[in-house]
Amino acid sequence: MKTIKGPALFLAQFAGDAAPFNSWPSITRWAADCGYAGVQVPSWDGRLFDLDKAATSKDYCDEFKGIAAEAGIVVTELSTHLQGQLVAVHPAYDTAFDGFAAPSVRGNPKARAEWAVEQVKKAMTASRNLGLSAHATFSGALAWPYIYPWPQRPAGLVEEAFDELARRWTPILNHADDMGVDVCYEIHPGEDLHDGISFEMFLDRVQGHARACMLYDPSHYVLQHLNYLDHIDIYHDRIRMFHVKDAELNPTGRQGVYGGYQPWVNRAGRFRSPGDGQVDFAGIFSKLTQYGFDGWAVVEWECCLKHPEDGAREGAEFVRNHIIRITEKAFDDFAGAGTDRAANRRMLGLD
């Protein structure tokens, strides 16, 4: 067993144009003041991070880490959620996702996908330069519009989508391996990797690639009514990152998992600040500790009700209170009889 690191905070939901959220020195000081020991960095946000420099300059990375260290903060991981999304985009979402891309490739799906692949590869190189071993991303989606089989899906459609997804990600996974970095896909509705079975379908097609791993976020499993504790039992050897995000699912006679196109606050399933929803975090921290997870517990604040700054401050304390410092002794050591092999054999009636 190992002790989980934390608390850490994903900065994507907090970066902005107003102080203290508009620069790397000020946002790290703010995070430390909230009680965090680490931060997960959105690689696309130029107000905080220069991905091109980080991929080419170890000096830049050392300076970047040094600024955080002055505030008492560790860089836990980089994220390419937005760029990873663009590795594979169904045409139905071309317009919606174009805004994630550089202006030079918008309106050109092929160029956009190529740009996205290079972005994710750069983030793997930057992770190595920062001394990081895990990276957060999305898989993208080609099959997602066909998630509910009506009309009936033609034979081979989903298989073709996953074959193509694996083809696009294999070179990235190989580069990640060269950099010594695990690619942690956030298992998330809207992505083709949205549950355990879809992850397994992908894993089969990348020949069980050692760098194809999971970012575990129980909130997405609550909203799917998936057993998120059993999920840890099944996939613990692939779980390399952990988002502490809460959620609740309160179905009624009018709506359920799909939410009736309602805004988040009016949905049966909605995200909440840590401790305000239905996730059994005591069970999660126990299982992750039992299986030796020694990564970071990273708060991803997403709540349809609570102010983000309140959620951030409460989240740091929430994680700190849930981290289990592992025991170095068995609780019943006091009752040990100090027996040896001969005594054991006598107890078994073998002498």
**Nearest one of 256, 187, 261 to 221, comparing CA atoms:** 187
Show the tokens assigned to 344: 């054991």
The HSE-up count of residue 94 (CA atoms within 13 Å, CB side) is 11
Q: Among 304, 300, 326, 306, which residue's Cα sits nearest to residue 36?
A: 300
How is the chain split into domains, by residue range? 5-347
60, containing H or E segment = helix 58-70
Phi and psi based region of residue 311 (left: phi greater than 0; alpha: psi -120 to 50; beta: remaining): alpha
Looking at the chain, how many residues does it have? 351
Q: Which of 112, 283, 88, 84 is nearest to 184 (CA)?
A: 84
Q: Residue 278 in contact with residue 269, Cβ under 8 Å?
A: no
* Alpha helices (H) in 228-303, listed in sequence order: 228-235, 281-290
Report the topology of domain 5-347: TIM Barrel (3.20.20)
Low-confidence residues of the chain: pLDDT under 50 = none
What's the rounded Cα separation, in Å, for the pair 2 and 292? 5
Please report where in the chains the tokens 């939901």 appear, as a residue.
13
Using CA atoms, how far apart are residues 182 and 134, in angstroms rounded to an integer?
Answer: 5
CA 326/CA 110 separation, integer angstroms: 49
Q: Say how far apart CA 59 and CA 78 lie, in whole Å.
A: 17
Residue 95 CA, distance from chain mean position: 25
Provide the H-helix boundaries in the chain: 24-34, 51-56, 58-70, 81-85, 94-98, 109-130, 157-179, 196-205, 218-222, 228-235, 281-290, 308-322, 341-347
